[in-house]
Amino acid sequence: MSDAESNPAVSNWQIMRALIAKDWRFFRVPMIALLITGTGCYTVAAVAIFFLHPDPREYELLCHSSVLAINLTGLLASVLGGMAIAVERSERTADFVGLLPVSRSQIVLSKWLVSIFMLGACAVINAVIALWLRSPGGFIS
C-alpha cells in the first residue's frame, strides 16, 4: 500500500469547512454588488424623502425600497446559481476542484449552503427593515 493510500482520511467536516471558506470568497463579488445596490435603494428613497419631498406621507417609499431590495436578492439568487457552475467552468477552476478528493455532492452542498446563507441574510435584513418601518412605533407610524 502506498503512502497516499495508508494516510488517514481527512474528516468530511474538515473538507466541508475548506470548501465553504473557498465558496464564501468565491461569492464575495456578487454579494458586495448586492450590498451596494441594496444600500442604494434605501439611499435613493431617503434622498427623495428628506431632500426632494419632505413630506411624511412619502415615508412609504422606504418600505418600497425594502421590497425592491428583497427582489434584488431574488435576482442575486439566479446570479449566484449561474456563477456557481458557469464561472467555474469557463475559468477551468472546476477542473482544480474536480481533481481533489472531494465528492461532487460535497462541492454542490458547499455552494448551496453559502448561497442560502448569503441570500437568506439579505432577505432577512430587508424584511426586518420593512417590518420595523411599518410596525407600531416604527419610522413610518
Partner 1 sequence: MTMASPKISTEADIQIARLTRRFGKVNVVDNVSLKVPTGTTCGFIGLNGAGKTTTIRMLVGLLAPTMGVITLAGCDMPGERDRSRRLIGYVPDRPTVYSWMTGNQAIKFCKAIYGGQWDDTLIATVAKSLRLDLSKEVKHLSKGSAAKLSLLLAIGHNPRVLILDEPTSGFDVLARDEFLEGILTVNTTAQAEGKPPRTVLFSSHSLGDVQRLADSVAILHEGKLLLHEPIDRLLGQTKRIRAVMDETPQKTVAPPGTVRESFVGREWTVTVKDFSADQVEFIRGKNRVTQLDVQDLTLDEVFRDYVRSDDKAPELAQA
Cβ 28 to partner 1 shortest distance, Å: 9
- Answer yes or no: are the C-beta atoms of 106 and 64 closer than 8 Å: no
**Is residue 102 within the footprint of partner 1 (CB under 8 A)?**
yes
**Is residue 10 within the footprint of partner 1 (CB under 8 A)?**
yes
Entry field: residues in the chain: 141
Cβ 101 to partner 1 shortest distance, Å: 4
Window 40-99: residues binding partner 1 (CB under 8 A): 91-96, 98-99
Residue of 54, 101, 136, 137 that binds partner 1 (CB under 8 A): 101
For every residue of 59-95, DSSP letters joined together read: GHHHHHHHHHHHHHHHHHHHHHHHHHHHHHHHTTHHH
* Choice between 18 and 140, CB closer to partner 1: 18
Number of chain residues interacting with partner 1 (CB under 8 A)? 30
Residue of 8, 54, 136, 137 that binds partner 1 (CB under 8 A): 8
- By CB neighbour count within 10 A (0-12 exposed, 13-18 middle, 19+ buried), where does 60 fall? middle
Helix 12-26 and helix 28-47, axial crossing angle in degrees, nearest 10: 50
